[in-house]
Structure 1
Amino acid sequence: MVDTFLAQTTHLVFAAIWAGSVFYVAFVILPLARDGAFNSTKPLEVISSKLTTISRISALLLLLSGGHLAGTGYTSESLFNTTNGQLVLAMVALWAVLAALVEIGAKRLESGLNGKKLREPAGDALSIYRAAAVVAIALLVIGGMITTGVTRYF
């Protein structure tokens, strides 16, 4: 009981932190950088590094907490043969996509920043981060569907 509470809480908190961080970078920070609001590359370097750290820590904790929740709440049969189980599998796939998009976006941004450019790398990475933000929101929506049991109405 306590382990489930801790796993669910960890899962929820780090999913929100990860999704919110990616969304903020995609829709606030990078557009500002692309439009010339920064005078040096340093702020973007720090933001990119911190987002990558948040992403990696969140991905690991979501893997561990989600693995625990799936292991205690589903059998291999129910993962593949129930709507909720299939949503869990979709979340795993989207989790991997989100992690990959953040890593790709960070590399794209950092490689441009190493050339001491600001606007161009921000513009280049923007579409990757926006795609990551959409994936992050999809993950939260699917998590809400699983948590509330809304699938039983379909």
Structure 2
Amino acid sequence: MALIHSVMWTIHVGFAILWTGSVLFVAVAVIPPATRGDIGTDALGSLIDRLRWITRIGAVAFVVSGGHMAGVLYDVNTLTGTGRGHLVLTMIVLWLLITGLIEAGGGKLSRGLETGKLREPAREAKPFMYAAAGLSVALIATAGLLANPFGL
């Protein structure tokens, strides 16, 4: 049983690193040059498609691994009545918000790129991607609080 717990933690943390890193990379290193027209539409489309796929595959990984961890470590009372449970619920809300922002911003970019535009869709997607990046930092901070072995 310890092996399955380790595998689930590894999957969860591995996808969290990949996903939040990808969100931050797109917001910091891809969107600014796209708004200036300094990146090609094919490259931008490829990066956004990959981010959206990482988000979707990560969703499955998070539900499976996080569901396992929550089922082993928490019940309704500990999720709703303890500081650690509140952190888990906060992470779930942040995950859902970031996922929605990535899908909305990625959709705006993809639709614009399909019409051959670059700067306008990048500008339209920018607030979504920046908000997703900000919430990703909040998600990382929440995970750090949850991982703290000394309590809240």
- For 2:43 and 2:128, the matched residues in 1 are separated by 19
Residue correspondence of structure 1 range 4-153 to structure 2 within 5 A: 4-38=5-39, 40-152=40-152
The residue type equivalent to 1:27 in the other structure is V
Q: Deviations over 1:1-40 (max 9, x none)?
A: 11111111111110010000011001111101111212x4
State the percentage of identical aligned residues.
36
Over residues 58-109 of structure 1, what are the superposed CA-to-partner deviations in whole Å (9 max), with x where a residue is unaligned?
A: 1210111111101000121111110000110111111111111110011111
Question: Structure 2: how far apart are the matches of 1:56 and 1:150?
Answer: 33
Amino acid at match of 2:81: N
Measure the CA separation in 2 of the matches of 1:150 and 1:35. Answer: 46
Change (3 A) 1:6 1:105: same
| Offset, 1:114 | 1.4
- Measured after TM superposition, the shift of residue 147 of structure 1 is 1.1
SS in 2 for 1:51: helix
Alpha-carbon distance in 2 for matches of 1:71, 1:117:
46
Gaps of 5+ in 2: none
Give the aligned residue type for 2:142: I
Q: Partners of 1:131 and 1:125 in 2: how far apart? A: 10
* Cα displacement string for residues 119-142 of structure 1 (whole angstroms, at most 9, x for unaligned residues): 111111111001001111111111
> Relative contact order, CA 8 A, sep 6+: which one is greater?
1
SS in 1 for 2:116: coil
TM norm structure 1 = 0.93
Which contiguous aligned blocks of 4+ residues in structure 1 show a shift greater than 4 angstroms? none
RMSD: 1.1
Unaligned runs of 5+ in 1: none
User: What amino acid maps onto 1:145 in structure 2?
Assistant: L
* 1:151 CA drift (Å): 3.8
The SS at the match of 1:149 is coil
